Amino acid sequence: MDWHELTDLTQGQPFVVERVRLADSGIAIEGQFEPPQLAQLSIDDQVFVAAFVRSHGSIKEMERTFGVSYPTIKSRLKRIAEHLDFVDTDPAPTGAADVVDRLQRGDISAQEALAELEGPR
């Protein structure tokens, strides 16, 4: 079964993947895995997002591809975006490992690292 068939079967309803098999090794992992956000979109929206990425975000090219107007493209992008959570790609550093990483990069001095690790007194 391919991803399109699964999306058709679920008809937009939330689902959980309970078993994953690694194709090359045959190792199977069982548990409860939430599919990625893009996989939870309808097939039509997945195709739309793929076309948007392939067009390098060109709304003009999307207008030509789908034969619709600029406002229609913008409206659909907005609707799809409402289903996707923002992913922070540069979260604020937390924990001792981040302090050590910043020390190794030279972003902070050894004294600053010690002060952060010791915390407030």
Task: Answer yes or no: pTM beyond 0.75.
Answer: no
In a domain, 86, yes or no: no
In a domain, 107, yes or no: yes
pLDDT tens digits, 19-37: 989 989 989 999 998 888 8
**Claim to verify: residue 72 and residue 97 sit in the same structural domain:** no
In a domain, 112, yes or no: yes
pLDDT: which is higher, 68 or 26: 68
**Claim to verify: residue 102 and residue 45 sit in the same structural domain:** no
CA–CA gap between residue 80 and residue 48 (Å, rounded): 9
CA nearest neighbour of 18 among 2, 37, 5, 31: 31
**Claim to verify: residue 72 and residue 95 sit in the same structural domain:** no
**Claim to verify: residue 48 and residue 69 sit in the same structural domain:** yes
The domain that holds 72 is classified in CATH as 1.10.10
Number of H helices, E strands in the chain: 6, 2
80: tokens are 């799809």
Contacts of 95 (CB under 8 A, 6+ apart): none
Domain assignment of residue 121, given as a range? 91-121
